[in-house]
Structure 1
Amino acid sequence: MLEHQVSSWVELQELLFAGSWNESLHRFRPTLAFRGAPNASHDLATSLNRRGGDYSRQEHVMLRAFRKYARGTSNPCDTLWDWLALAQHHGLPTRLLDWTFSPYVALHFLTENTELYGMDGVVWCVDYRETNRLLPRPLKNQLQKEGADVFSAEMLAEVTPTLSSFNQLTRRSFVLFFEPPSLDERIVNQFALFSVMNDASSRLDEFLQHQKKGVRRLIVPARLKREVRDKLDQANITERVLFPGLDGLSRWLRRYYNPRPPGAPEGL
């Protein structure tokens, strides 16, 4: 895993889009998943990890209850993976972790909270072609069959329809990325992607530490955060777009018109 301290907005653009040229397609088509965090010390623990205790058993119990009580809602779910994506999307603790195909969406989540502008942020960049090399054979075969680099819920269900069967594909730890169904405009506008590991107790950051290729951490210093935020606003990467509806509109206006703290140094 590589780590790079960013020095400017221009350098940040170069690093976010580095390696995006696809020679076989003759197009700029990167195979990267991005995740932004306002604090560079934040780990990649899932919401399920953070519960503590016997969370691997809690996962099954909570998901079973969610499926039971959520039936009849406006979101039809055909597979376990649809249900898992829906549960994650609505705040249930799961083994999924939120990512995006968009580097600018990742930067939004790095800069959304103005109260954390005094600390460095981070963008994780993971090449899923590299992490796919460690997938068990049945999953690799499915990607090859579909000509894909990331999974859909339907693709996963064909190979492993239950979490139990997913856990038992191999004893080795692995991570895969799957694109959730378009449950609503928020999923679509955020260009959403989920990561999932074959052990609910695993931590993705610990797994990625041992990857020699395809994993980068870009540290965005606190002094750059306000510049990044202002340029994202100009590019219309805002809460109003990423969280469609009145709640997102209010979040955007509350942040956009938040006064700069008196006496704050340049960049904060």
Structure 2
Amino acid sequence: MTKIYEVDSWKAFLDLVESEALRGWAFRGQRDAEWHLESSLTRRLRMFVPADQWADREQRAIRVFKRKAHYFLNDTSALKDDFRCLALMQHHGAPTRLLDFTKSPYVASYFALQSCTTPAAVYAVNTPALWHEATPPGLPQMTRDAIDPRNSDSLSRYYLSNQYPIVWPGEPWSMDRRIVAQAGTFMLPGRIDVSVEQLLNEYEYEEPILAKIILNPEIRKEAMEALYRMNISSATLFPDLDGLARSIQYELEVSWIGSSGPRK
């Protein structure tokens, strides 16, 4: 079951994510605590596509991207690696089954709080336990190495087939600038017709696997000021002109005049 924490102060959040309970976990910030832990692909398909067509539509989307993306790339090697290709699609805004996570709870809190007006959430996944246990109990034939999407044909067999109740944590062998800047990683689900939370809670693992930290929106001001001083902003998390432009959203809120730090 998902462990729920509710925090009402920035200090309480820091104490929690720096505790032994969540050490080494991966984190994902979502600005609405009511949102499920599911991919952009799942949300898009649910809105517009009959469920029996999801697998075909996903595979077609990947084929279309591969056929056309080479026009915009100096290095097309990512298009020959299915997992890297999915990461590239995700990077540029295509709906994919990947869920962005980060190894930094501070980065996750930034994504949760930057635009929130209601309770936000940071999800935490016990990636060391998930990695070592590899697959849920009851699927012993599917070893960690067998389901590694970086291996030839594994992504197609174990993930795009949309049959297996597995979640794989990790990154492509070759990472882009945004993944590096965000201390990023991914959760790759073997099914997109259910949420990642459901997949992780379907089996009893030896250790706790999933936690949800609900953030009171009243902590936003203090948290955003602290993150600004930690040099965590859209300008640093998206190290390009798009990131700089996004960072102006928060620059509109802050002023250094007559203050020891950012203030409204």
TM-score class normalised by the smaller sequence: 0.7 to 0.9
The verdict on how the C-alpha distance between 1:162 and 1:6 changes in structure 2, with shifts beyond 3 A counting, is same
Question: Structure 1 pair 20/171, CA: closer, same or farther in 2 (3 Å)?
Answer: same
Residues 20, 218 of structure 1: CA spacing in aligned structure 2 closer, same or farther, 3 A cutoff?
closer
For the 8 Å contact 2:55–2:161, the answer to whether it is kept is: no
**1:189 has 2:188 as partner:** no
| Residues 73-111 of structure 1 deviation map (CA, whole Å, 9 limit, x = unaligned) | 124224211111111111111111111111111011012
Letter in 2 for 1:80: D
Q: 1:223 aligns with which of 215, 218, 223?
A: 218
- Superposed displacement of residue 126, structure 1: 0.6
Could you report, residue by residue, the CA deviation over 1:88-138 in whole angstroms, capped at 9, with x for unpaired residues?
11111111111111111101101222xx3x311111011023334251556
Give me the whole-angstrom Cα distance separating, in 2, the residues matched to 1:225 and 1:106. Answer: 13
Residue 229 of structure 2: aligned partner: 234
Alignment of 1:45-194 (within 5 A): 45-51=38-44, 52=46, 53=49, 54-71=53-70, 73-75=73-75, 76-77=77-78, 78-113=80-115, 116=116, 118-132=117-131, 133=133, 135=135, 136-137=139-140, 140-142=143-145, 156-158=149-151, 161-167=153-159, 172-194=164-186
Distance in 2 (alpha carbons) for counterparts of 1:44 and 1:112: 18
Runs of 4+ in 1 over 6 A off after TM superposition: none
CA distance in 2, matches of 1:228, 1:259: 13
Is 2:134–2:144's contact at 8 Å kept on the other side of the alignment? no
Question: 1:55, 1:94 → 2: CA distance?
Answer: 12
Change (3 A) 1:19 1:68: same
Q: Which runs of 5+ in 2 are unaligned?
A: 256-262
Identity of aligned residues (%): 28
1:124 aligns to what SS in structure 2? strand
Task: After TM superposition, give the deviation of residue 48 of structure 1 in Å.
Answer: 1.1
Look up the match of 2:35.
Answer: 42
TM normalised by structure 1 equals 0.79
Report Cα offsets for 1:138-191 as digits up to 9, x if no partner.
664529xxxxxxx9xxx5333x52543114999651101121355532221011
Is the contact made by 2:31 and 2:112 (CA closer than 8 Å) also made in structure 1? yes
Q: Flag the 1:170–1:249 CA change in 2: closer, same or farther, 3 A.
A: closer
Query: What residue in structure 1 maps to residue 259 of structure 2?
Result: none
| Unaligned segments of structure 1, at least 5 residues | 22-29, 144-150, 261-266
Q: Which residue of 2 aligns with 1:257?
A: 252
CA RMSD of aligned residues (A): 2.9
CA offsets, 1:213-256, max 9 Å, x none? Answer: 12111111011111111110011101111111232222222322
Cα drift, residue 13 of structure 1: 1.0
Q: 1: distance between equivalents of 2:150 and 2:27?
A: 25
Note closer, same or farther for the CA distance 1:178–1:138 as it changes in structure 2 (3 Å cut): farther
Q: Which amino acid aligns with 1:200?
A: I
- The verdict on how the C-alpha distance between 1:193 and 1:239 changes in structure 2, with shifts beyond 3 A counting, is same
Looking at structure 2, the residues matched to 175 and 190 of structure 1 have their Cα atoms a distance apart, in angstroms, of 21
Q: Which amino acid aligns with 2:101?
A: W
Letter in 1 for 2:74: S
